């Protein structure tokens, strides 16, 4: 082990590999701003030692806990299982930390791998360099043991490692998800500027949709696009495990995977009793968007619980007598359409809500403070969330049950 000249070194902590009951460290990354929602979700799943990080939640437990998060989390973008935590102040100490791992227990020398590397420090200045050193350490280790080494496939590897360098410490993990978890069913998607499923789910959790659904309240999205809110909202209300839709997983290329334990998690998810789903409604001016939305619901076996209609916002009205929840992600102007149009649409949305959705509870994803102002309604909450690179506000807007004087 290379000694750091100044402050001395700590030894790498290599995590257990073969014993599924051994306690492990997991990290579930998520979009910035959603850490607390994710922590709440993982807590509800009964996971332990939860710790908020920047853009992630860490937890600890047996392998089954990691699998449970993988199967049930609607908000996490991946689930990583940590293999080692150790010093990495320069190229050699990074290499030595990675060599501590008994790689034959994790990687198949006849299959492919890739390393994602995040972070840098004075001794490791480029993520590409860090990734290469880790790859060297893994390949050298396997070649010494077997005479063979894994191939590199950056696009579709059998085993994806995730390296996170924080200061002079490396945390190296296996990505158990593979494809990111927002791809619920292998990526059957479409539509203009669709929300990621993980973000839509987090927004619905923040809005208290599971509780409203249990009370039988309806859900409306008047600009539903590809229907992400409705797909996530219906699946959440019925209690479907998002992981049941997927067929490929990162753990398939990991030698530490325990299929019997995974199958227990799959069986438990399959046997969860479906809950009654309240009525859901989707509208959009764009006929193609409605088709994409219908297709997505059909793919999830949820076509019967959502009613769709092609309709511009100007004719939107409450589709049922009982007030419910309205969620909407209007165009921001930055991504589709232009700013003035987007601002005018917010004004129209405010009018429509005030006059035709009496007593409803609206939640609006505003792409800028300007948009929020144009709504002309006072939000009870403005929750900061990131939609990709756009800093948004998730606005809670309770609508008064008192009628206003004249219709729009
Ligand atoms: C940002 S996209 C919504 C994306 C959606 N949340 C999803 O995940 O696919 C905004 C949607 O508003 C619709 N839209 C724009 N102007 C509209 C209007 N005047 N009336 C109804 N829908 C409109 C667009 O067709 C588009 O599908």
Residue 408 has pLDDT above 60, yes or no: no
pLDDT score at 15? 73
Residue 2 has pLDDT above 70, yes or no: no
CATH 1.10.150.390: does it fit domain 13-175? no
- Does the C-beta of 202 come closer than 6 Å to ligand 1? no
Residue 324 has pLDDT above 90, yes or no: yes
b/e string for 229-246 if b means 16 or more Cβ within 10 A?
A: bbbbbbbbbbebbbbbbb
- Does the C-beta of 228 come closer than 6 Å to ligand 1? yes
So what's the architecture of 197-240+273-398 in CATH?
3-Layer(aba) Sandwich (3.40)
Q: How many CB atoms lie under 10 A from the CB of residue 3?
A: 10
Residue nearest (by alpha carbon) to ligand 1 atom 5: 225
In angstroms, the Cα distances linking 318 to 1, 169, 212, 352 are 68, 55, 17, 10
- Does the C-beta of 289 come closer than 6 Å to ligand 1? yes
Residue 156 has pLDDT above 80, yes or no: yes
Residues 299-304: what's their mean pLDDT? 90
Q: What is the pLDDT of residues 92-143, one digit of tens each?
A: 999 999 999 999 999 999 999 999 999 999 999 999 999 999 999 999 999 9
Q: What is the pLDDT of residues 179-230, one digit of tens each?
A: 999 998 644 466 678 999 999 999 999 999 999 999 999 999 999 999 999 9
Q: How far is the CA of 154 from the centre of ligand 1 (A)?
A: 35
What confidence tier does 6 reach under pLDDT thresholds 50, 70, 90? low
Whole-angstrom distance, CA of residue 289 vs CA of residue 295: 10
User: In sequence order, what are the beta bridge partners of 14?
Assistant: 84
Report the 3 state secondary structure along 100-139: CCCHHHCCCCCCEEEEEEECCCCCCCCHHHHHHHHHHHHH
Spatial CA neighbour of 193 closest among 284, 268, 276: 284
Q: Decide the pairing of beta strands 24-29 and 80-87.
A: antiparallel
Which of 44-53, 132-141, 290-299 bottoms out in mean pLDDT, i.e. has the lowest? 290-299
- Does the C-beta of 152 come closer than 6 Å to ligand 1? no
Q: How many CB atoms lie under 10 A from the CB of residue 199?
A: 28
pTM of the model: 0.94
pLDDT score at 340? 86
Taken in order 344, 338, 204, 386, is the CA torsion positive or negative? negative
pLDDT score at 370? 86
Nearest 5°: the CA angle 299, 249, 22 is 135
Q: What percent of the chain has pLDDT over 90?
A: 84
Kindly list the domain boundaries of the chain, sorted by start residue: 13-175, 197-240+273-398
Classify residue 75 by its DSSP letter. S
């Amino acid at each position: 082990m290379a000694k750091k000249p100044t402050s001395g070194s700590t030894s790498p902590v290599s995590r257990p590999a073969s014993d599924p009951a051994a306690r492990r460290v997991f990290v579930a990354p998520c979009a910035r701003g959603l850490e607390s929602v994710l922590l709440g979700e993982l807590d509800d799943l009964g996971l332990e030692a939860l710790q908020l990080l920047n853009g992630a939640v860490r937890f600890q437990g047996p392998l089954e806990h990691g699998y449970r998060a993988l199967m049930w989390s609607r908000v996490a973008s991946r689930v990583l299982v940590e293999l080692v935590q150790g010093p990495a102040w320069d190229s050699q100490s990074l290499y030595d930390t990675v060599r501590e791992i008994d790689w034959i227990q994790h990687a198949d020398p006849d299959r492919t791998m890739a390393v994602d590397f995040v972070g840098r420090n004075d001794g490791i200045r480029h993520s590409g360099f860090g990734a290469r050193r880790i790859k060297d350490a893994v390949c050298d280790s396997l070649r010494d043991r077997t005479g063979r080494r894994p191939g590199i496939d950056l696009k579709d590897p059998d085993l994806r490692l995730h390296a996170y360098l924080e200061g002079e410490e490396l945390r190296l993990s296996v990505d158990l998800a593979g494809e990111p978890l927002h791809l619920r069913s292998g990526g059957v998607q479409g539509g203009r500027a669709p929300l990621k499923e993980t973000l839509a789910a987090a927004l619905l959790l923040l809005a208290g949709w599971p509780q409203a659904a249990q009370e039988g309240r309806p859900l409306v999205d008047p600009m539903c696009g590809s229907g992400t809110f409705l797909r996530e909202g219906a699946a959440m209300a019925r209690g479907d495990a998002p992981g049941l839709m997927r067929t490929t997983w990162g753990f398939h290329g990991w030698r530490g995977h325990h299929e019997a334990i995974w199958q227990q998690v799959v069986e438990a998810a399959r046997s969860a009793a479906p809950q009654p789903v309240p009525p859901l409604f989707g509208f959009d001016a764009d006929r193609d968007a409605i088709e994409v939305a219908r297709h997505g619901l059909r793919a999830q076996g949820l076509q019967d619980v959502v009613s769709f209609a092609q309709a511009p916002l100007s004719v939107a009205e409450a589709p049922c007598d009982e007030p419910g929840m309205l969620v909407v992600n209007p165009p921001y102007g930055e991504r589709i359409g232009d700013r003035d149009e987007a601002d005018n649409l917010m004004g129209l949305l405010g009018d429509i809500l005030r006059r035709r959705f009496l007593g409803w509870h609206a939640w609006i994803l505003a792409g800028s403070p300007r948009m929020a102002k144009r709504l002309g309604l006072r939000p009870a909450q403005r929750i900061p969330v990131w939609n990709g690179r756009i800093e948004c506000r998730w606005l809670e807007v309770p609508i008064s049950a008192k009628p206003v004087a004249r219709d729009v």
